[in-house]
Structure 1
Amino acid sequence: MSYCESFRASYARCNIDEDFLTFFLKHFCSTNPRFSERFCGVDNEKQTRMLKASIILVQNASDNPYIRNNVKSLAKRHKDMNLNIKPEELVAWRESLLVTVANFDPLFDDEIEQAWRSTLELGIEIMSKHAIN
């Protein structure tokens, strides 16, 4: 099975819903006090919708040049909002997402982890290039 197929199967098993996204957000915020400050007082429902969209967007960047432009635009919006994103924060985002996947995908293993890493790599690279001041 290719990384793309493994990723899509894992994504489907995770059932990316409010529970998944809430777990992710809690874990992500626990890795850095700045994240908790950024998300404090934010509408949780709206934030989970935005997180789901960002996961899908970053995931699809590897397959589609149009989507890569959307990721670039998202990165620039983050920069324009003066979020002062640091490279290690993008790593924390990815690692928190992987911890969440490991908790929600009953078939999670090293191959599935690598499929997620590989699939997200280009989107995170674009975010690193365009979101960081």
Structure 2
Amino acid sequence: MNHSADFNDSFERNISNNYEMFFQAFYESFQAKSPEIKAVFQNTEKSRRHEMLEDSILMLMECSLNHAPSEHICRLAEFHRERGIPEAMYDVWLESLVETLYRLDAEFTAAEEEAWRAVLLPGISYMRQHAY
């Protein structure tokens, strides 16, 4: 299975073509999961939240492609650690992302879900390991 191709196709459909709708739906889902998550983003401008999510996805993708954490992922992990982001929030983040993809994309398949998880999990694992 070509995870990169499935991921890229889905990314293109959902993020490049439906940028505003995708990010709005993701943050609604993610923040609804707990008051703690909502509090993390309460003082962050909507456009900045969208930018942060897109950057995070791209950094996680880069980590997977390079089979090693980049300087960007290391800095992101440090940023999250400094802000006390709990390790469990990474699972909620990924589940919210997948839920959003299924909700907004009628073409989203189980194979694409597997691709998103395969592409993002190496970087998420690094982030979790460096949460504390």
Letter in 2 for 1:42: T
Over the matched positions of the two proteins, sequence identity in percent amounts to 28
Aligned Cα root-mean-square deviation (Å): 1.6
Tell me how far apart the structure 2 counterparts of residues 113 and 50 of structure 1 sit (CA, whole Å).
21
TM-score by length of 1: 0.89
Letter in 1 for 2:10: S
Local SS of the residue matching 2:64: coil
Tell me how far apart the structure 2 counterparts of residues 57 and 98 of structure 1 sit (CA, whole Å).
17
Gaps of 5+ in 2: none
Which residue of the other structure, out of 36, 44, 49, is the alignment partner of 1:42?
44
C-alpha displacement of 1:103: 2.1
| Residue correspondence of structure 1 range 1-133 to structure 2 within 5 A | 2-16=2-16, 17-64=19-66, 68-80=70-82, 83-130=83-130, 132-133=131-132
Matched positions, count = 130
Deviations 1:4-63 (A, max 9, x none): 111101111113412111110110001111011111132111111111111111122111
Tell me how far apart the structure 2 counterparts of residues 123 and 71 of structure 1 sit (CA, whole Å).
7
Tell me how far apart the structure 1 counterparts of residues 85 and 114 of structure 2 sit (CA, whole Å).
25
TM-score by length of 2: 0.89
Tell me how far apart the structure 1 counterparts of residues 78 and 15 of structure 2 sit (CA, whole Å).
29
Tell me how far apart the structure 2 counterparts of residues 24 and 95 of structure 1 sit (CA, whole Å).
10
Tell me how far apart the structure 1 counterparts of residues 119 and 56 of structure 2 sit (CA, whole Å).
13
C-alpha displacement of 1:67: 5.5
